[in-house]
């Protein structure tokens, strides 16, 4: 076997109803309210859910709803489950009566694809698979896949080759495939936030690879989110204060092919290369799906193009670190 491809991710959801402090209680009334904790696995990663509600039974039911919703959405979007809807679409090249969540997310993908001039493109899966196959072989050429192999994969890339409707999703070219890894975590995060709000949650931080806050902390202070180029970094390079916002960070260092830092997991749909333009790109937005998609796309764009897109989308802000370590914030 060649070099393994790994990525660490932990999921944590902390939430409290209005008037209840999640991380410690200063009054007897707060202390009397139960804190219900669930630990397990979700989206293939260790997961922890901590809910603080007056009604313990209600907290337990809400946790059950969250766990069930994550599992349901994983059965739609997962690339690694052979029985998922996405896996079936990639095998068959078409699917009839697609789930509404898949249609909704692909419609959003088209919006992000257009907004970034194609830098965000979920049809890059043939290229991603090419790199994964190449570096899974012992003694793989450290220079990466050949130009010919890359060209063949590129011919199967392009969101304009996806026909999307409420009744079906169709690839117009053989061998195409989708990956939603650059946006699905954000979408699922948004769905869980909606569930928590419906359940009466007023203060929450949902971290599922991407992060979204409901309100502020119970004492009125903002939630603090660390930024780093890898998810297992011992300390963040900076910390953001957020209230009712989402944050997503993308970095080639988050997952690397081969034994060097040359080939990251974010593939350019135009060139088929994996450029390392920044140490990390973080996007602050109203929704986690939007932050997720733009942080992925911006990792492949130069600074002037990122600034132009952000100016057209005043609801987002960008915080990035260059390869030389210079931090830039705009929006």
| Residue 125, domain CATH | 1.10.3980.10
Look at 79 and 12; give whichever has higher pLDDT.
79
How far is Cα 172 from Cα 160, in angstroms, rounded to an integer?
Answer: 9
| 26-57 core/surface letters (b: 16 or more CB in 10 A; e: else) | eeeebeebbbbebeeebbeeebebbbbbeeee
**pLDDT score recorded for residue 24:** 44
Segment 213-218 shows an average pLDDT of: 86
Which residue, 255, 242, 228, is CA-closest to 193?
242
Across 79-222, the runs of DSSP E, i.e. the strands, are: 94-96, 162-164, 168-171, 201-207, 211-214
In a domain, 201, yes or no: no
Q: How confident is the model at residue 6 (pLDDT cuts 50, 70, 90)?
A: very low
Least confident among 94-103, 132-141, 145-154: 132-141
In a domain, 116, yes or no: yes
Least confident among 52-56, 247-251, 261-265: 52-56
**Domain assignment of residue 115, given as a range:** 85-171
Please provide the average confidence, as pLDDT, over all residues in the chain: 87
Evaluate if residue 29 carries a pLDDT over 60.
Answer: no
In a domain, 99, yes or no: yes
In a domain, 146, yes or no: yes
In a domain, 110, yes or no: yes
Which residue, 8, 28, 50, is CA-closest to 201?
50
How far is Cα 129 from Cα 174, in angstroms, rounded to an integer?
Answer: 15
Q: What is the pTM of this model?
A: 0.89
Segment 268-289 shows an average pLDDT of: 96
**pLDDT score recorded for residue 31:** 47
In a domain, 187, yes or no: no
Segment 171-175 shows an average pLDDT of: 97
In a domain, 315, yes or no: no
Least confident among 108-122, 216-230, 259-273: 216-230
Total structural domains within the chain: 1
In a domain, 129, yes or no: yes
């Amino acid at each position: 076997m060649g070099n393994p491809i790994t990525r660490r991710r932990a999921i944590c959801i902390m939430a409290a109803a209005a008037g209840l402090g999640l991380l410690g209680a200063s009054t007897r009334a707060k202390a009397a309210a139960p804190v219900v904790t669930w630990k397990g696995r979700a989206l293939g990663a260790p997961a922890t859910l901590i809910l603080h509600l007056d009604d313990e039974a209600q907290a337990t039911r809400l946790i059950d709803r969250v766990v069930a919703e994550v599992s349901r959405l994983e059965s739609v979007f997962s690339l690694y489950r052979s029985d998922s809807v996405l896996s079936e679409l990639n095998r068959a090249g078409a699917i009839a009566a697609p789930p509404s969540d898949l249609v909704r997310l692909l419609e959003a993908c088209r919006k992000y694809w257009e907004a970034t001039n194609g830098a965000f493109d979920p049809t890059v899966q043939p290229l991603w698979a090419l790199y994964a196959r190449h570096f899974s072989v012992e003694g793989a050429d450290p220079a990466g896949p050949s130009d010919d192999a890359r060209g063949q994969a590129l011919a199967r890339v392009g969101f304009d080759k996806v026909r999307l409707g409420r009744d079906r999703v169709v690839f117009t070219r053989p061998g195409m495939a989708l990956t939603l890894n650059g946006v699905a975590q954000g979408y699922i995060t948004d769905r869980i936030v909606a569930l928590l709000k419906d359940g009466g949650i007023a203060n929450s931080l949902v971290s599922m690879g991407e992060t979204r806050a409901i309100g502020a902390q119970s004492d009125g202070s903002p939630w603090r989110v660390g930024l780093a180029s890898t998810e297992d970094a011992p300390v963040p390079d900076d910390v953001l204060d957020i209230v009712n916002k989402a944050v997503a960070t993308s970095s080639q260092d988050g997952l690397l092919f081969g034994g060097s830092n040359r080939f990251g997991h974010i593939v350019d749909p135009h060139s088929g290369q994996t450029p390392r333009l920044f140490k990390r790109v973080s996007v602050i937005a109203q929704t986690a799906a939007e932050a997720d998609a733009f942080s992925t796309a911006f990792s492949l764009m130069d600074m002037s193009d990122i600034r132009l897109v952000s100016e057209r989308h005043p609801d987002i802000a960008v915080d990035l670190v260059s390869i030389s370590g210079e931090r830039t914030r705009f929006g």
